[in-house]
Amino acid sequence: MQRFFGIAVTVIILLSLVYTPVQAEEVPYVYTPTVPATALSVIALYKAHDYSYVLDGCTWLQELKTPDGAWAYQYGMAPQAKYTALAVMALMRGESIARGMFNRTIHAGVYWLLYKQSDNGSFGDYTDTALAVVALKEYERFKYSWIPVKKAIQNGLYYLQTHQPKTTMDRIFGYMALGDLQGLKSAEATGVNGLYRAFAVAYLTGKPVEMSSSLTDPASLALLLYATGDEQYEKALIREMHFGFWGVLKYQPPDLLEAATLPGFSDLAPTACPYMEKVKPQFEWEKVVLSRYYVECNGSVSFAGIDYSKLKPWMIAEMARINHLLGRPYRNEVKYLTGHMSGGWGNFFNTAYVVWVLSDLNVTLNYTEPLNLLVSNLTYRYPNYYYAYALMDFHRFNYTDAFRMTYSIIKSRQNPSGAWGYTAGAPGNIKSTAEVLRALRVVGLDNTTVYRRGYRFIHNFLYADIPLATLNGTSVALRDAVFFPIKDEVYLGNVTGTLSTAGLDGYIMMYPAVHPLVVNATPLRGFTAGSPWRESHIGEGGHASTGGQYIPYLVGIALLAALGTYLMLRREGKGKTRNKGSRK
C-alpha cells in the first residue's frame, strides 16, 4: 500500500537514483512515544497489512523496554503488565515479518509477566490481569514460543472469574480474556470505552464492527481501524505517526505557542494548535490566561459574563489586549483598570503588565506613578518573566537607568544553557525563555549574545537535525545509522553506516544507533508476513476460525472411520460364531 508520510518520514530518507551528499534537515522534535498508542497502532496496521509501519513501531517498542524486559506507559515510568502485554502482542506480529529480530524481546516480556503474577493469579489490577492473559494466550499459540505459560493462563483466568471488575475497562478486557462474547456485547460502553469494546468484539469474532467516533488520538484511531477495517482510520493513523512511533507531545501546547511567536519557530504553531483545541478551561481566570493561545490558533474566545472583581489586574489588561486583537471593543476593561489604579496595580508584575498593555493600546494615562512604583520595587527577587515586561515598559518610556538595571538582572539570570527558568537558578524552560527573548527583541536587543544564546537553547531543545540517507547503486548509507536488513521474512542481523540492498524485502533504518531519534522501515521487494501462529487456521488475534471450509472433509473422515469400525466389529462377530461351532 502507498505510504502516507508524517513529519518524520518526509525528512528521514529520500532515496534518489543519483548519488547525493549527506544532508540534514531540522524538524520539530516535540513528540515522545507512548507504549499503548504504539502497540495498538502496530496491532491495527498489521491487520491492515501495512507491514512497514509495523516494523517501525516494533523497533521503537524494542527500544522502549525496561532493562528487565517490561514496558511502562512511556519510557522512564514504572512498568505495568497491561503495557507489557500490549507490547508483546505487537512484537509477535512484527516477528512474523522479520523472524529473529524481536524474539528475545518477546520472551523477556513473557518472563517478566510470569514473574509479575501473584499467588492469587493476578498480574496487577483487573485490566493488567486480563490483558496479560490475552497476551499469554497468544504466546501459547505463537509459532516460536517455548516458555510454558499454560499454568499462568489458568491462574489468571481463575482470578478474573473470582474477582469483580471495578471499571468499564476492566469488564471489557475481562470478557475479552475469558472469551465471553455475549457479555462483551452486552457491556455498556461510551466514548473511548466504546472503542475498546469494538476492538475486543472484532478480536474475538474476527469480523468487522460498525463503529464511528470523533476521537482522533492515535490509540483511538488504532482501535477504530482494528474494529472497522475502514481505510479512513488507516490513513489518519499513519498521519499521526512521528519518527516511526505514536505518542504525545513532550511539552505543553502553550509553551510551544510561546516559542512560536519568535521568528524562526512559527512551524511549532501547527503542531501545538490541534492539542490546544482540546484544552477546555474550567474557570473564568483560565479562559483569560489561555485566550492568547486560542487566538494564535485562530480559535474563538468569549469573555461574556466574566466578573472583573474575581480577576487579577493583569488578566483584565489581557482581556483588553485580546479584544483589541480581535477587533472588539475594550473600553470596559480600560475603564475598570483606570478606575482601580492606586499608584499602580498592586504587585510588580501586575503593574508591569498593565502598563505594557495600556501603553501599547495608546490609552491616555499618567504613567509616571505606576512606572515609579516599578522603579522603587525593582529588586532581584522576582520570577524572570516579570522583568521581561518591565524591560519593555522602561524602554518605551525612556527610563534609562531602570532599563539598564533590568537588563543586567536578565543577563545575570541566564543559565549556562542559554535558557531562563522560572526564578534565578531554576532549570531553564521554554515559556520563561520565550517571554524574555520576545522582550529583548521588542527593545532592539535581538542582536546580542544574550539573545542568541537563548534562541539557541529553544532551537536545540525543540528541534533535531535528521540526516537524509543516500543511495548509491544497490547500497544505502548514513553515518551513525544502524540498518536492519530483512530477506524472505527473516532478519539478517544489523550493520552500521552502509547497507547493501540487493535482494532484500526491505530494511529498517534507525538513527542514530544510540539513543535513536527516528526509525524508518523501507520496503524494496516488499515486506510480507507469514502467520505468527502455530495452527495454520488461526486468524488475527490468535483465535481459531470456525473452520467451515474443512467441514465436508471432516464429515467424510468421520463416515469412513465409522464404516471401518462397523466392518471390523462385524468381522470379529463372525469369528466368534465360528469358534463356538468348532468347540461343539
H-helix or E-strand containing 233? helix 231-239
pLDDT of 226 > 90? The answer is: yes
What span, in angstroms and rounded, lies between the C-alpha atoms of 120 and 536? Answer: 34
What span, in angstroms and rounded, lies between the C-alpha atoms of 31 and 302? Answer: 31
State the cell numbers at 95.
516477528
pLDDT digits (tens, 9 = 90+) for 285-322: 999 999 999 999 999 899 999 999 999 999 999 999 99
State the cell numbers at 221.
484511531
Residues linked to residue 534 through DSSP beta bridges, in sequence order:
none
pLDDT of 561 > 80? The answer is: no
- Average pLDDT, integer, range 129-150: 97
In contact, 61 and 512? CB cutoff 8 Å: no
Q: pLDDT-based confidence at 278, cuts 50/70/90?
A: confident
How high does pLDDT run on average in the chain?
Answer: 89
Between β-strands 475-487 and 495-500, what pairing exists: parallel, antiparallel or unpaired?
antiparallel
pLDDT (0 to 100) of residue 300? 87
Helix (H, G, I), strand (E, B) or coil at 480: strand
pLDDT digits (tens, 9 = 90+) for 456-482: 999 999 999 999 899 888 999 999 999
In contact, 383 and 347? CB cutoff 8 Å: no
pLDDT of 86 > 80? The answer is: yes
H-helix or E-strand containing 521? strand 518-523
pLDDT digits (tens, 9 = 90+) for 349-390: 999 999 999 999 999 999 999 999 999 999 999 999 999 999
CA distance readout (Å), 291 to 132, 175, 257, 353: 44, 44, 12, 16
Count of residues making up the chain: 584
- H helices of 17-167, where? 35-47, 51-64, 81-95, 103-116, 126-141, 150-162
What span, in angstroms and rounded, lies between the C-alpha atoms of 531 and 56? Answer: 19
pTM given for the model: 0.84
pLDDT digits (tens, 9 = 90+) for 27-83: 999 999 999 999 999 999 999 999 999 999 999 999 999 999 999 999 999 999 999
pLDDT digits (tens, 9 = 90+) for 425-449: 999 999 999 999 999 999 999 999 9
Choose among 19, 15, 101: nearest CA to 57: 101
Exposure of 151 in the CB half-sphere (CA atoms within 13 A): 8
- Average pLDDT, integer, range 498-511: 96
- Average pLDDT, integer, range 476-497: 96
pLDDT of 190 > 80? The answer is: yes
What span, in angstroms and rounded, lies between the C-alpha atoms of 403 and 582? Answer: 130
Other C-beta atoms lying within 10 Å of the C-beta of residue 114: 16
- Beta-carbon contacts of 2 under 8 Å, excluding residues fewer than 6 positions away, are none
